[in-house]
Amino acid sequence: MEEIAKKIKNLGIELKKLKELLNIEGKRQTMRQLQLKMSQPSFWQNQKEASSVVEELKEAKMDVDAWDGLNDKHKEIKELFSLSDASLEKDLAKEAHNLEKECQKLRLKVLFSGKFDNSNAIVEINSGAGGTEACDWANMLFRMYFRWAQNNGFKIQVLVEVRGEEAGIKNITFFVKGKRVYGLLKSERGVHRLVRISPFDANKRRHTSFASVDVLPEIKDEVDIDIGAEDLKIDTFRASGAGGQHVNVTDSAVRITHLPSGIIVTSQNERSQYQNKQAALSVLKAKIYELREEEKRKELEKISGKKQKIEWGSQIRSYVLHPYLLVKDHRTNVENHDAWAVLDGKLDNFIHAYLKFIKSQELNV
């Protein structure tokens, strides 16, 4: 029982820290102010502003309710412990362990402080040199993210997919939609390396394949990205694919070229030309924003006279399937010997470790 008492005490300390880190009392005040604003008769006259207020209230309430629920649970366990005897030790230990896991989940919210961390994500996977091997590896990565999204209750919407000549995919662009998706998936941006015995090599030799993953936030209307119609070249074409019910049979696929930057985006998996155009414009907006941010970073480097930290290394993670099983993140040194589980979507340990690593760097700056 002494060990349980210690864990309950530590959980109380952790909840106090979370209360401060998440600014729970500040968010309670924000909720009162927003609720007062929503009670005004003219509140819904400006739909855009009203929607923004409702979303802000929902965000604040989510964190406050989450912390309140854990705090109430802690009080219950604490009270039960003071009244219990050794016969309830196992049940108390289980309750304390579950509460500890929930506190860890809540602590992760502190890691999402970026401007677009709450946004949906646009993910692009491109196979590297190596023909069929690289295309198959790109396809394995897509499956990994698809399973990860399923495991977390997120939705995937494929915009364009170019199949390899024999197997796999040359490149694919897709949305991942859900709460804090970009905040999570931004950790995946970089080059991913696979080492395995090739299933396409009759001599069963070991091959190394590479694929790059790019992750961008979906840019909503609140960010001003001015794209003039005169700067766009829009082409329509018939979507191509391996066959099946999802392949378009009309000229509904859309390719948009942003003339000033040369950026080209495509969408072909939506049902109508209009839907494909809107999806392509979303991707274009994200790419233009990223380009402008990169230009700002380079300008700051010139002014300051020193090179900024490179956020994304060229090779971020290795997946070894032969002669042993190992997935290793080269930024955090986190490893997992169950490589097949990782390729089946078990990515959370790598994602969370990277977010903590980045947050610790920010705090040390």
State the pLDDT at residue 307: 43
Question: In Å, what is the CA distance from 48 to each residue of 51, 216, 221, 286, 322?
Answer: 5, 24, 10, 21, 54
Checking if the pLDDT of 365 tops 80, the result is no
State the pLDDT at residue 227: 84
Q: pLDDT band at 73, cuts 50/70/90?
A: very high
- Residues 168-194 have a mean pLDDT of 94
Prediction pTM value:
0.73
State the pLDDT at residue 313: 42
- CB-based contacts of 234: which residues, under 8 Å, 6+ apart? 254, 255, 256, 257, 277
pLDDT digits (tens, 9 = 90+) for 237-264: 887 654 333 444 557 899 999 999 999 9
Tokens standing for residue 21: 């880190």
Q: What is the mean pLDDT of the chain?
A: 87
pLDDT digits (tens, 9 = 90+) for 211-240: 999 999 998 765 667 788 899 999 998 876
Domains and CATH numbers, the chain: 2-111 (1.20.58.410), 121-218+316-364 (3.30.70.1660), 229-304 (3.30.160.20)
Evaluate whether 149 touches 142 at the Cβ level (below 8 Å): no
Q: pLDDT band at 24, cuts 50/70/90?
A: very high
Provide φ and ψ at 160, rounded to 5°. -150, 140
